[in-house]
Amino acid sequence: MIDLDNFDQTSVIFDEKNGSLRIAGISMMEDSLGFYAETKKNLDSYLLNSSSSVTVEFELTYFNSSSAKQFIQILSRLENNRGSVLWKYPKDNTIMEDRGKELEILLDVPFEFIPV
């Protein structure tokens, strides 16, 4: 079930020191391109200036199709052994597990699926 009181509450934390990006919550904003623009910019800068890989951790309960497009753009930057994905999903929500597997199919980035 989606908590409509919190539908615009997406947490994005990029820890450059540890090479980790965490995206959590519900991602269904109207302007996902604008919302994730800074994240993509920071990730590009990190990948350009560091030889370290990035771990992207998703812990979402829902995301819309415009957010999925942004996730593909973010994760495509990790191809060629530049990173990996931890896909955490509610253990009783097979839809969120499947959405992660759909992204995995589209990208050459290793995914680890973790029910929580």
Residue 29 pLDDT class (50, 70, 90 cuts): confident
Q: Is the pTM of this model over 0.85?
A: yes
Q: What would the pLDDT profile of 42-83 be if each residue is shown by its tens digit? A: 999 999 998 889 999 999 999 999 999 999 999 999 999 999
If one compares 5 and 52, the residue with the highest pLDDT of the two is: 52
Q: Which domain holds residue 50?
A: 4-115
Number of domains observed in the structure of the chain: 1
- Are the C-beta atoms of residues 58 and 92 closer than 8 Å to each other? no
User: Which CATH number characterizes residue 58's domain?
Assistant: 3.30.750.24
Helices 65-76 and 94-106 pack at an angle, to 10 degrees, of: 40
**Dist. CA 43–CA 39, nearest whole Å:** 6
Residue 107 pLDDT class (50, 70, 90 cuts): very high
Pairing mode of beta strands 20-27, 10-15: antiparallel
